[in-house]
Amino acid sequence: MKILLGVTGGIAAYKAADLARMLVKRGHQVRCCLTDAGSRFITPLTLATLTGEPCFGANPDYHEWRPNPKVEHVDLARWADLVAVVPATADILGKTANGLANDLLSTILLATTAKVLWAPAMNKAMWAHPAVQANVATLRGFGHAFVEPIEGMLACGEEGAGKLAEVGDILEAIEGQGRASIPTLVGKHILVTAGPTREDLDPVRTLTNRASGAMGIEVARALRDSGAQVHLVVGGELAVPQGIEAFRVRSAQDMLDACLSLWPRMDGVVAAAAVADQRPDSFADQKAKKQEGPETLVLVRTPDILATLAQARRPEQWAIGFAAESENHLANATQKLQKSVWMPCC
């Protein structure tokens, strides 16, 4: 993919160098456009060295008069498959949202018909300002994508939402823009469950399983990249990819409640969670003390999430479920399907 990386004037500009290096390593052709303000934080030589391409914009070493001169902002706008602005300041967001252009990057952003992705970074009060949020809404209306800032320690010493997203998440979002969507999934709302559930015995001890949730998260990621609107109900501690609405849960009942609240507006569900099949019949408010001799733990069944969703489904809603087995995999999975009120969706 041919990526034009716009770098504007924020302290997070130094992270653009790492992003450019990672993109090149993954086989993308990268050209950088540096604003005057951005050049106070990172040099054109750094970006040109990492990409193997000239750094455009604020670069005194890239002279205006050269062989076969071109209308630079139009040429770069046509060249790019994607324009990614990392970091994006309030200034560049405002200019592009309102059709203003007074430097190379802002003119490229008005001239391009390529996809545009923004990774904003700024003070938390600036990010929350109504004018900035209105500009973000306008750009979303143009079809532009965003990797929103995360919470953390900001350069000003404050903590809050405004920190540049992790470089790995920005890389993933950029590559996601280059993937082809699946027409039958575009715009569909899909519920995905992932991860283990935990059933508490007391404030310290819990019943769970060895599932990490990685499979369900990768399913959610693939559906997102195919154009679906993904709603992930997840147990465990794994990070959730950008662009996926996530609901963190603990117990099987928590997962069921979250799924039931979402289910009426979903087109389908991929139930990939490793739900604990049993829970203790009671919960001790205080840590249970050691006892001499044998101890008995009474277990009761947790709700069957997929079966409950089946009972509340519309005819056009579909489901994909998984049967975690340690033996006789096909026979046990077939038996589970036959017991289900679902009809096979494929």
CA distance 321 to 325: 13
Catalytic residue among 32, 156, 345, 346: 156
Residue that has been written with the tokens 């030589």 in this structure? 45
Residue 333: predicted pLDDT: 79
* pLDDT number for residue 46: 96
Length of the chain: 346
**pLDDT, position 346:** 43
Per-residue pLDDT of the chain (346 residues; tens, 9 = 90+): 999 999 999 999 999 999 999 999 999 999 999 999 999 999 999 999 999 999 998 876 665 445 555 678 889 999 999 999 999 999 999 999 999 999 999 999 999 999 999 999 999 999 999 999 999 999 999 999 999 999 888 888 888 899 999 999 999 999 988 888 899 999 999 999 999 999 998 898 898 988 999 999 999 999 998 999 999 999 999 989 888 999 999 999 999 999 999 999 999 999 999 998 899 988 888 887 777 767 788 999 999 999 899 888 999 999 998 877 778 888 887 877 776 655 544 4
Residue 93: per-residue pLDDT:
98
Residue 91's nearest CA partner among 100, 82, 81 is 100
Q: What pLDDT does residue 59 have?
A: 73
Confidence (pTM): 0.75
Instruction: Say how far residue 125 (Cα) sits from the centre of its chain.
Output: 23
What does the pLDDT read at residue 215? 95
Is residue 33 annotated as a catalytic residue, yes or no? no
C-alpha triplet 328, 329, 333: angle, nearest 5°? 115
In order of their start, the domains of the chain are: 2-177 (3.40.50.1950), 189-285+295-339 (3.40.50.10300)
